[in-house]
Chains A and B, each alone.
Chain A
Amino acid sequence: MSESTAPLVEMLGIVREYGKVQALGGVDLAVQPGEIVTLLGDNGAGKSTLIKILSGADRPTSGEIRIRGNAMRFRSTRDAIALGIETIYQDSALVEQLSIGRNLFLGREPSKSRGPVHWMDRTQMDQVTEELLKRVGISKKLSAHTPITALSGGERQAIAIARAMYFEADLIVLDEPTNNLGVEETHGVLRFIREAREAGRSCVFITHNMHHAFQVADRAVVLRLGKKVADIPRSEMTVERIERIIMGLEDGEAVASVG
């Protein structure tokens, strides 16, 4: 990556305090266009807090977020979504009572009417939904009107991913996307992450599974007790080394400065 290109997303000195508890103590994170970064760390390391700030769901106590070199302030997830940051949460964040189509377009339902009431363009919604279901490879015959309750965990994850694909997010943030998924479903998610990179998108994903991280990530960032302790490129990643850093047995900063 040449030095002149601004990173897609740059988080600088992010601090998040909850009362006296410091969840994040000045974390920097940069993601280049077309790069996949895995965010690793033990429970309570601050991964989820960092992701929430990146997705606009939480605000930092101090620190700055830059998108393509411009400082931005997210007031809500809506702001982050408008800037091309899509977040897929652990529980996949779908509304169970709604159909697949209604979930895919939730918050951005297409509408042709110009009056005071925005009627949904249901033909378009159904069409796009059927196409997307094929694209993410849900083999079972599902229609746009199938309720989410009828889907498996992997299928739900696939729907959330399809949503990020359709709305052409520049950065897709995934919070433990392979959690609770079967083998085949996990492969589907990892395949999608690779496809997203090929399409020029960036990804940040949290995982506890080192093997999944190694299969797709270009770079690993390790958090420990609210601080970034390592930032390692693909070529220098080994499972043993990262596990030692996560547990605090090895000094990650030294590794980072070498890399």
Chain B
Amino acid sequence: MTCLETLRRIVDRVLAVRESIPLVLLIASSLGFYLVSPAFLSPMNLSNMFAFIPELGIIALGMTMLLTAGVFDLSVGAVFAFAPLLTYTIVNQVGIPLELAMLVGFAAAMLIGLINGLLVTKVGISSFLVTLGMMLVVRGLGLYMSAGYPQKTLGGDPIIQTLLVGTVTIGPVTIYAGLLWFIGLAVFLHFLLRRARFGNWVLATGGNGKSARARGINTDAVTIRLFVFMSFLASFAGLISATRVGSAYPIAGDGYELETIAMAVVGGTSLFGGRGTIIGTVIGVILIRSIRNGIILIGVPGLAYNMFVGIIILVAMSVQALLERRNAS
């Protein structure tokens, strides 16, 4: 009896931490995949899986900050394609060095973020509509500019190549530069959100914007900065991706906006602002990527992938909602 009570208390305490739900899901699904196909946890498969994590993961980190501030960005997938396309078009057709062209790509992305932020805060349109419109504009611009053709991204400066897509091999595990960027950004943003003044303002902006403004916080400036940062991250992730695959495709990153929102929300970040967790997002990113990897390994047709991701989202959300209702009563 007491043993059962102790166990119950431990379970309660674990469930009180938002990140525990996705973590339990991750452990459960990994165990399931491993039992069916032991190759799932082999060093080769893990390093392969983690090679694909940063590109969506970096966007998901930015999305977590935006969601915490009570907004989101549907144009990230389009920016993910557009910025590297612009960068390599300049390199290939104008002959400008890659370093300079990268700055142009980043600047263009940040301008897109700035426009998003200004329309949301100063004109007062919901972020859903603003970024939906921006997604179409940017995607269309990329397609028009490229006439639908990709730009080759090979033969760039070797230092930049190494910084973006270099690898380190330790025994059987290969670590990609993108993963290091992702880890670095995750650590920085985690502390920014939890320990910095700006993080407190982000939480307050999404939690109760009116109160935050009454305390003298410029919530518009907070939101605009986050949109600019989000677009920068999307363009950076796009650059890594385009450089890795050897071509910048105008249709790259299609659907990334919803997938990254799903990663953040599954991890425990609220869609309605005021609650955000970078640790949860990192777990959410790994969870959703590992499902894509795992279902292929265990022999489920890859086309069924979305079905599994959908189920995971529904399960995670339901558990969270049920727990919140129980805590409220």
Contact = CB atoms under 8 A, between A and B. Distances in A.
Which of B206, B212, B213, B214 gathers most chain A CB within 10 Å? B214
B203 A77 contact: no
B210 interface: yes
22 contacts: A57-B213, A76-B213, A77-B213, A77-B214, A77-B215, A81-B216, A89-B214, A93-B208, A93-B211, A95-B211, A98-B203, A98-B207, A105-B200, A106-B215, A106-B217, A107-B212, A107-B216, A109-B197, A117-B192, A118-B196, A119-B197, A122-B195
Contacts of B210: 93
A95 B214 contact: no
Contacts of A107: 201, 212, 215-217
B219 to A, nearest CB: 11
B214 A93 contact: yes
Interface of B: 191-192, 195-198, 200-201, 203-204, 206-208, 210-218, 274-275
Contact of A95 (B192, B195, B203): B203
Given A97-B207, A106-B201, 10 more contacts: A82-B216, A93-B208, A93-B210, A95-B211, A102-B203, A107-B215, A108-B216, A109-B197, A117-B192, A120-B200
Contacts of B200: 98, 102, 105-106, 109, 120
Interface string A83-115: 000010100011111100010011111010000
Interface of A: 55, 57, 76-78, 81-82, 87, 89, 93-98, 102, 105-109, 111, 117-120, 122
A95 B204 contact: yes
Given A107-B216, A107-B217, A97 B275 contact: yes
Contact of B211 (A55, A94, A118): A94
Nearest to A102: B200
Contacts of A89: 214
A225 to B, nearest CB: 27
Contacts of B201: 106-107
A105 B195 CA distance: 13
A96 B216 contact: no
A93 B210 CA distance: 8
Nearest to A110: B197
Nearest to A107: B215
Main secondary structure of the interface of A (DSSP, over half): loop
Contacts of B195: 119-120, 122
A163 B119 CA distance: 34
A6 B116 CA distance: 48
A233 B197 CA distance: 44
Contacts of A119: 191, 195-197
Nearest to B215: A107
Contacts of B208: 93-97
A57 B209 CA distance: 13
A10 B259 CA distance: 56
Contacts of A95: 203-204, 207-208, 211-212, 274
Contacts of B198: 117-118
A82 B215 CA distance: 11
Contact of A57 (B206, B214, B275): B214
Contacts of B218: 76, 78
Closest 9 CB pairs of A and B: A78-B216, A107-B215, A97-B274, A97-B207, A95-B207, A93-B211, A109-B197, A118-B197, A95-B208
Contacts of B203: 95, 97-98, 102
Contacts of B211: 93-95, 106
Nearest to A79: B216
A235 to B, nearest CB: 35
A78 B192 CA distance: 23
B216 A77 contact: yes
A3 B243 CA distance: 76
B32 to A, nearest CB: 34
Nearest to A81: B216
A145 to B, nearest CB: 12
A117 B211 CA distance: 23
A120 B196 contact: yes
Nearest to B206: A97
B196 A106 contact: no
Nearest to A92: B211
Contact of B197 (A76, A96, A111): A111
A113 to B, nearest CB: 9
B274 A106 contact: no
B107 to A, nearest CB: 20
Contacts of B275: 97
A102 to B, nearest CB: 6
Nearest to B211: A93
A188 to B, nearest CB: 21
Nearest to A55: B214
Which of A77, A102, A107, A111 gathers most chain B CB within 10 Å? A107
Contacts of A93: 208, 210-211, 214-215
Contacts of A87: 214
A102 B197 CA distance: 9
